[in-house]
Chains A and B, each alone.
Chain A
Amino acid sequence: MVGVFGKSVTIMYNHVLRNILAPSKEVATNTFRYTSFYNKLSAEDIWRGVTSVSNAGKKRGRGKGSGKRVAKDLNRGQTIGVGSRNFVWPGLNAPIVRGKTLIQQERLSEVNNMDRNINKIRDLMGTYRIAKVNSIDRGWSGAKMPGRSIGPPDAINEEMFENFDTRVLENKIVFIMKGNMGRKRRYSVLSITGNKKGLAGFAVAKAPEVRTALRKSKNRAAQKVIKIELCDNHTVFHDFSCAFGKTRIFVQRKPEGYGLICHRAIETICKVIGIRNLHAKIEGSTNLQHIVKALFLGLLQQKTHEEISRKTNLHVIEFRNETGLHPHIISKPESCKASKDPLSKEVSDYTQYVLDDQISLKKRKFAPFYIDSKGYNLFLKRKEQVRNQQKVRVNMNAFDNDLQSV
């Protein structure tokens, strides 16, 4: 019994021992492949593979976003013989013989900041940032060109374009097919230049490079400058509607202080021309080139006050609310119409006359959907109680300098 017991104990012991020493697992032999792209390709190729995008990918616009990886040049900031350990290597970073003594290889005790400096240089390499543009100088959207200023046009024969400013309106890639080159890509830039005093011109130019296209467009616009009459130096003469292609713009004259309430392209154009107050609504296509052309057509076809009085033989009289509606004679005809004649229908109304008898359809504004809802009425009821609170507050502050009644 003892023997049996002793034997079984021995077997168990051996089993445990074996398991501890070498776990009961199938022994796997690792196979190594000694060839890979690391030793087949050159460093340059490997880096290109990691940091760039394939040609096919490039065409689809890949590798442009924030995750773009940039290859770091690890050699930058390194010099042979200088490392983290401060050593004198004769013949490498020190002369071999100084005077008549042979210089020995030697470790210097001073600590240098070699590692830190190199890391700093490498960190800078990875994080490239676009220089911050002042919010005023920014364009319509993000870091895109449209809406941004590209400065005055270049001088032509010492004819300086002083006080001129050019703004990009459109910057896009266009393709054409070439016999030998196939699909050829170019940048097309539409820009407008003006002096904010009624002189302005616009032009489209194409070039393989953005910068060239911008320059070409700017200088071409300078050659096409035309004079646009401004009313009171701040707005248009009258309401008008103008069209080019499928684009139609309805422009309204507005008083000082109104601002430019219109499409961003029209806003930019107006600013460059020198118009500060106007309301414009585009109907139809918002194609940028069409907008520019339509607006320029409209501005050029305006009737000035002198023209109107010359053509109608009537006085043009201005009534300003701010001067108590006192009649102010803007322009008088050579010979006024006989006063007894009743005014013909077409010239009796100024607005009708300047719009060439056309009437712009004013669509009725519908009341918002919630106007009849129970909740809105409740809200109005609740608001009624506190409707004068703000005024009371202001009054209390003004008289007692305190929000308590005395």
Chain B
Amino acid sequence: MKNPYSERMYIIGAMIVLPILYFIFRLFILQVMDTSYKLSASSNVLRNVTQYPARGLIYDRNGELLVYNQPVYDLMVVPGKLAPFDTAEFCQILDITKEYVDRELKKAREYSMFRSSVFLKQISSLTYAVLQEKLYKFPGFYVQPRTLRNYSGDIAAHILGYVGEVDRQMIEQNPGYAMGDYIGITGVERTYEEELRGIKGNNVFLVDVHNRIRGPYQDGRLNSPAELGNDLKLSLDAVIQEYGEKLMRNKIGSIVAIEPATGEILSLVSSPSYHPELLVGRVRSQNFRTLASDTLNPLFNRALMAHYPAGSAFKVINGLVALQEGIVHEHTRHTCPGHYTVGRLTVRCRFHTTPVAMPAAVQVSCNTYFCHIFRDLLDHPKYGSVTNGFNVWAGHVRSFGLGERLDTDFPNELRGNVPLAGYYDHFYGENRWRSLQLISLAIGQGELSVTPIQMANMTAAIANRGYYITPHIVRKIKNSDADNSKQEKIFTSIDSVFFEPVIEGMHRAVNGPDGGTARVAQVEGLDICGKTGTAENPHGDDHSVFIAFAPRDNPRIALAVYVENAGWGSAMAAPIASLIIEKYLTGSVSREWLENRILEADFINREIALADGQEN
């Protein structure tokens, strides 16, 4: 019986042979004609091995080493080269559990059998020493040296900032980074990341088919060695910084000290702080969580980011503006009956000799005097309206670097707030507000808010009699032409001749024989000029504020001190400022009693005790 469809075997044969012939044709093109695939193949047998540079070191202004690097070792694994090993001994050396080993090896296997994965990050050199001798027992593992930050002291955490591993988002934004690289996240580590990080090196090796490195490719001509990061020399004075942090222990607040002639930041304290080592290495993420959840917010850099009222210390600026605008003269006097009263509004003042002119008004911090001159300024007929008068005032205030970012070399600086006329227009309606409604600005309260570094900078401008240099923390970068030591003077809108009466007042406030608000800050022979402030705090006890510079002529240090909830400016802030100035100018502290009083003062645990008391 002949099958009627048996002819179809030829068609079926053709249907099978034709596609396979097509494959053969494609394979001929792919394997014999086309050479590009041979080139692609060679790029796979070269292995690029990254060489990680050490980050630049960080020194203080006197050459004291603050930040350096410690070698650590990442334990790498190539799962395809593993042989059975003694897990118990392995775990014991590295202080890890068997579950960890199983988990990490599984992860590594899933990634690749023949490429390296990180098995255990950041092994200390001590552990490494032990491991190194035994490493031959654990084939498939090898060690990749890395460096981690290390700190010579427990200071300046907020200034230095910290370093962390880049995440996916950062890599997308900065294409130069790869998984596993470190990057500065805050502080100087962040601002000067490009200087500090150095340049990653790359060694190109020839790898044979058995994954063994045969040697450098083309005798190493393509290798690029890692270049170390550049060292930084800070303007920071480690001694003053440490002393400031010591004085601020158990207090919330900030100290910023600047060298007026150069704008160099000598000290920048934000309290409470943390030990910089807490944010290094494997413990970083856990410690970070702990610090971030602390209600005292130790990660918050108050020196740059806390908004405070300026307080009475701001009266010096109002005095300067009034002098510049010709509202008062050095000898113009106002009588103070112990309060400033207009209609139902009363601003209280305290008892002092009366009448007062500018120096004495600053000396005794007379509220009445400054209310008078502030209103006289705003209401002066030459401006035509309060709005215009106010804008003139605000312009002068802003020329001291208030209300705007100073553009220091810190990330995350905040602006503070110097209100504009529009703010009051919005609040009261256009031309519907009078000088009286703004009266609290006369004594540094109201809508005005400042950061400690702005206050310190403002003080430096007063010390310089009319100009400041943008505050900065880095003085010099090694191997870099950038010289941060010489910078442009930024002039305020107040002529230098008007500063003397105000400075005289600040000098008398500290040194006045007939009594001043900050007598406690007096140090024989140092000629400290200062102004206290008591920043009214709607949420609790007033903040203690003090600004000062010294000596009076050719000042070498200008600073601002804020201590939260510590009451009068003379109570806490003034003594702290005085002790720091003394320490900086003389190298030692003569008033042990005062130092002890400050060190013992505790505004953190007291609060907690009070809170506890209320609960009970």
A and B: bona fide binding partners: no
Chain B residues close to A by CB (< 8 Å): none
